[in-house]
């Protein structure tokens, strides 16, 4: 989950991701996403606006409507990690 380029492997609505700059991710990195939502294809560019060991936040730099996706990571006592995923948008 910390590599959004792998989103098509685990997120059924994401068909493709292509980064517009060399990796690793950092604030300002942009990626072109292709998704399917409500039977329609969406193409949008996400920009990384926060990238820390405990969070990743991306916001649309270009697309059909404003969106933001955030991931928050919390280490658990058993060695696993709890992840909170939040998608926000205003169509």
Task: Tell me the pLDDT tens digit for each residue of 43-70.
Answer: 999 999 999 999 999 999 999 989 999 9
What is the domain range of residue 22? 4-89
Whether the Cβ atoms of residue 61 and residue 30 lie closer than 8 Å to each other: yes
Q: What is the pLDDT of residues 9-50, one digit of tens each?
A: 988 899 999 998 888 889 999 999 999 988 999 999 999 999
> Residue 14 has what pLDDT?
93
pTM of the full structure? 0.86
Distance CA(29)–CA(15), nearest Å, equals 19
> Residue 37 has what pLDDT?
84
How far, CA to CA in Å, does 57 sit from each of 27, 70, 72, 74?
Answer: 9, 4, 9, 15
> Residue 38 has what pLDDT?
87
**Count of domains observed in the chain:** 1
Distance CA(32)–CA(63), nearest Å, equals 10
Question: In CATH, what number is assigned to the domain containing residue 34?
Answer: 3.30.530.20
């Amino acid at each position: 989950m910390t590599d959004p380029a792998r989103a098509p492997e685990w997120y059924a609505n994401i068909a493709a991701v292509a980064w517009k700059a060399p990796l690793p991710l950092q604030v300002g990195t942009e990626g072109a996403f292709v998704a399917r939502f409500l039977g329609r294809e969406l193409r949008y560019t996400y920009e990384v606006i926060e990238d820390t060991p405990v969070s990743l936040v991306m916001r649309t730099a270009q697309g059909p409507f404003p969106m933001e996706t955030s991931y928050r990571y919390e280490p658990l006592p058993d060695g696993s990690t709890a992840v909170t995923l939040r998608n926000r948008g205003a169509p």
